[in-house]
Amino acid sequence: MDILSAKLSAVKPSQTKAMTALAAELKAQGKSIITLSQGEPDFATPEHISQAAIAAIHAGHTKYTAVAGIPALREAVVEKFRRDNSLNFTPEQITVGCGAKQLLFNALVASLDEGDEVVFPTPCWVSYPEIIKLAGGVPIAVETRVDNGFIMQPSDLRAAITPRTKWLMLNSPSNPTGAVYSRENLEGVAAVLRDFPRVWVLADDIYEHLIYGDAEFCTMAEVAPDLASRTLTVNGTSKSCAMTGWRVGYAGGPLELIKAMNTVQGQSTSHTSSISQHAAVEALNGDQGFIKEFRDAFEKRRDLVVELVNEIPGLSCDTPNGAFYVFIGCQEIIGRKTPAGKTIKTDMDFAMYLMEEAGVAVVPGSGFLADGFIRISYASSEDDLKNACTAIGAAVSKLTRAQGAA
Ligand code: PMP
Ligand code: GLU
């Protein structure tokens, strides 16, 4: 179509959104579907946070706000970074946007020139390469491997950096693998970056509080304070506070970058909702008991799903240390035939088969730049997770091996 830009034609729609939309469409047609395709806590937003929003409406906080966010929220973010991450920012070094997603977009639009490269480990969140392309940049994937626990190796990072590299985007705990970078892992990454003073780091900490067992959360600016002058730390309320729909993300970083991000935002969305901002103040300053409550529930669900998935012949996954996803290897399934006689050639074929046959929506690994996997979000009720795994197991058992295959 003539109207579309060349830049947009290279950008793919979000696969997490596409699979979730397809599930919703099938549900509307009366089909029973369990949606495990979108990373969204099933919990209600904690009541005290919702009450703060209602109070904000009644107090008339329904007007435009400062582009970077209301002062009370920026103060709350300063305090959160100090309390949880030992990071010291002034309120001017904080910006608030419509979810962490918009902050990633603002940062890249503010900093990339056409052709600048952005490095990130894969499997990666579906939106990384696409936001980079939208901002005029070139996505450079650094492959990680299951046997390294999906942790990027410093030598692989070093090999990916070129004179055009502007950013490393690092997400820990990771979507989709759940991998958590230890302090030692981050020190290894920092050591490489010290040799490339032009390269900035975007630490995407959105799953910070969803960390299990003995794993410890660390962020780059804290582990390597000497890199703080070129680190943007991004976080938000969506995942840890069950506030996906409120659209509140925040970031702290060097003043010049934050100001440029505010320019981008001031010429696009202006700011996130005034009401959501007041709710976020309560989310950060109020009672934090819900964080442990959610985390404990997710940990239990993680263990349940990992156990049930590994009982299904042909599927396998390790136990992830964070986030609320299991990234399941389905290489053995590729090449098998469905009862309708169709060969499953890709993880996308397998995901579509699970949607149709099992009534379960998952996301194919290819969406995360990792073929041969599917991702399940376990941010759903235990009943849904059990039923989904049973249905997946039954669907897989109906697949037949191609003739001649082992
Ligand atoms: N980063 C990662 C890795 C994510 O998985 C998500 C998921 N939504 C986001 C950022 C953005 O979250 P939000 O825009 O809801 O704050
Ligand atoms: N980040 C979540 C996911 O990966 C939410 C959907 C999205 O924004 O991609 O499912």
Give me the pLDDT at residue 13, please.
85
Distance 363 CA to ligand 2 centre (A): 10
Region of residue 153 (phi > 0: left; psi between -120 and 50: alpha; otherwise: beta)? beta
What's the 3-state SS for 172-238? CCCCCCCCCCCHHHHHHHHHHHCCCCCCEEEEECCCCCCECCCCCCCCHHHHCHHHHHHEEEEEECC
* The two three-digit tokens of residue 349, written as one number: 């074929």
Q: What is the pLDDT of residues 355-371, one digit of tens each?
A: 999 999 999 999 999 99
Contact 56/248 with Cβ under 8 angstroms? no
Residue for token digits 């305090």?
Answer: 79
d(C-alpha 271, C-alpha 263), whole Å: 11
* Beta carbon of 204 within 6 Å of any ligand 1 atom: yes
Residue 127 makes CB contacts below 8 A (sequence gap 6+) with: 14, 101, 104
| End-to-end C-alpha distance for the chain, whole angstroms | 47
* Beta carbon of 20 within 6 Å of any ligand 2 atom: no
Q: What is the pLDDT of residues 162-212, one digit of tens each?
A: 999 999 999 999 999 999 999 999 999 999 999 999 999 999 999 999 999
Q: Whose CA is nearest to atom 1 of ligand 2?
A: 39
Which string of b and e fits 33-61 if b means at least 16 CB within 10 Å?
A: bbbbbbbbbebebbeebeebbeebeeeeb
Give me the pLDDT at residue 12, please.
86
Give me the pLDDT at residue 15, please.
87
Average pLDDT over residues 387-399: 98
Q: What percent of the chain has pLDDT over 70?
A: 99
pLDDT at 405 over 60: no
Average pLDDT over residues 320-338: 97
Average pLDDT over residues 126-155: 96
Distance 101 CA to ligand 1 centre (A): 5
The crossing angle, in degrees rounded to 10, of helices 382-397 and 289-310 is 20
The whole-chain average pLDDT of the chain stands at 96
Give me the pLDDT at residue 309, please.
97
Q: What is the band of 403 on the pLDDT scale with cuts at 50, 70, 90?
A: low
Average pLDDT over residues 156-164: 98
* Domains contained in the chain, CATH given: 6-44+290-396 (3.90.1150.10), 49-287 (3.40.640.10)
Give me the pLDDT at residue 404, please.
53
Q: What is the pLDDT of residues 8-40, one digit of tens each?
A: 888 988 889 999 999 999 999 999 999 999 999
* The two three-digit tokens of residue 164, written as one number: 């055009």
